[in-house]
Amino acid sequence: MELIIVLILIISITLIFLVRWRYNYWKNLGVPYVAPTFPFGNIKGMGKEYSQFELLRAVYQNFKSNSSPIVGLYYYLSPVIIAKDMELVKNIFTRDADHFINRGAYYNEKDNPISAHIFNLDNPKWKTLRTKLTPTFTSGKIKMMFYTVYDVAERFVKKLRNEVEVAVDGEIEIKEFAGRFTTDVIGSVGFGLEINSLDNPTTEFRVHGINAFEKPNNSTLVNIFSVAFKDLARKLHVIQVRKDIEEFFQGIVHQTVKHREDNGISRNDFMQLMIQLKNHGKIDGESLSVGKLTMDEITAQCFIFFVAGYETSSTAMSYLLYEFAQNPQVQEKARKNVQQVLAKYNNELTYEGIKEMDYLLMCVNESLRKYPPVHTLLRYCNKDYKIEGTNCTVKKGQLVIIPAYAIQHDPDIYPNPEVYDPDRFLPEEVAKRPTCSFMPFGHGPRNCIGLR
């Protein structure tokens, strides 16, 4: 009995020593940090009492005047870095991107293959897949899909007008309509399907898409655990995407591919490009062979095409329309910009014409600044990296966080950041700001492949 008590004491003392040693990591390096509490570090209550971006914004603001380019945090027992210096952020994204090529997202290729998409994958799998997918996002390929989007947009405008006419006081929930619009666009361009959620908001495709966001498989803390301890999470068979959602998208993709191949059907859409890569290892009309895609890879890419496009696009669209409603003078200026460009193209909306709507693009960018679709950008260090001007070396495997929301609301970079002002994106104003102070699509080699 005494021996057991002694062993328990030894184990307890050892654990206390290890925890204290771990939680002194930033202090020993002389890096400013937020004091942690065991066992959550600095994330106790995250996802319930506050969101991640609220934590990061508070840390960014509280340590902003500190001369250190970084701030230390703890996710459970793991020390993580918040990069708050604009030069360091730029170097992480561009000059020294080879040290931070991975996003550090969790995926489980064996138990949950749909999670192994281009956003999540680590290098070198990511680079191989990006090489295969890059030809599908050229200007020519996107232009090819333009009129598919245009057709859905026309139906959206017609439906919106009808709803406004019958709505009480002329008010409607625009986020709902924007979501139905983006669902139909992605369903058509990405999957070659006529979803028609504009008329039928409870269509199965839309319901599963909404569930992917509103009914996630894991809690916030489990997701953070999976990112912090990837190998252990995979051994525990933790999955990211719910099985019913995975099976639904697998079924849709397999049925669509089989139907087209059996009937010789071809369409100007993303799915057709995926089929070309599956069968030939290259895009029709391209001389470069980039390698074939498997059905699991096609399903995963189609899934992230939906996930990345649905929520971000509908949210960005809703905020833009909200700001137009709040700022009628901006709305009128954007309207005149559109009319002037349309006049050059015989009052027809064209792919080339949209690219000339400069003020409208400024409005979109200001909306993305004020309401970034991705408020936090992550990079994992894949080889040791010495931070200039400090004694700190980022170790291989450490997580670096770029607080995009906080940076895009920094009054020293964007005066009066809560004011909606598209003129911030005049060329001469953009030139005054740090390169990486606007990052709705990320930066560097791991920026969003669908940026165009």
In whole angstroms, give the CA distance from residue 409 to residue 414: 7
CA 389-391-395 angle, 5° bins: 110
Nearest-10 Cα torsion for 39, 40, 41, 47: -170
For residues 223 and 376, the answer to whether their CB atoms sit within 8 Å is: no
- Tokens 């990052």 locate to 439
Residues whose CB falls within 8 Å of the CB of residue 71, separated by 6 or more in sequence, listed in order: 31, 32, 33, 34, 59, 60, 63, 81, 82, 84
What separation in angstroms does the CA of 367 have from each of 39, 275, 323, 325, 407?
A: 38, 35, 8, 13, 15
User: Tell me, what amino acid is at 323?
Assistant: E
In whole angstroms, give the CA distance from residue 174 to residue 46: 29
In whole angstroms, give the CA distance from residue 167 to residue 40: 48
- Tokens 């979501």 locate to 179
Angle between helices 270-280 and 174-191 in degrees, nearest 10: 30
Nearest-10 Cα torsion for 343, 346, 350, 356: -30
In whole angstroms, give the CA distance from residue 157 to residue 198: 10
Q: Which two tokens stand for residue 300?
A: 């995963």
Q: Which two tokens stand for residue 273?
A: 């490009």
User: Tell me, what amino acid is at 164?
Assistant: V
448 is in an annotated binding site: yes
Residue ranges for the binding site for heme?
448
Residue ranges for the binding site?
448
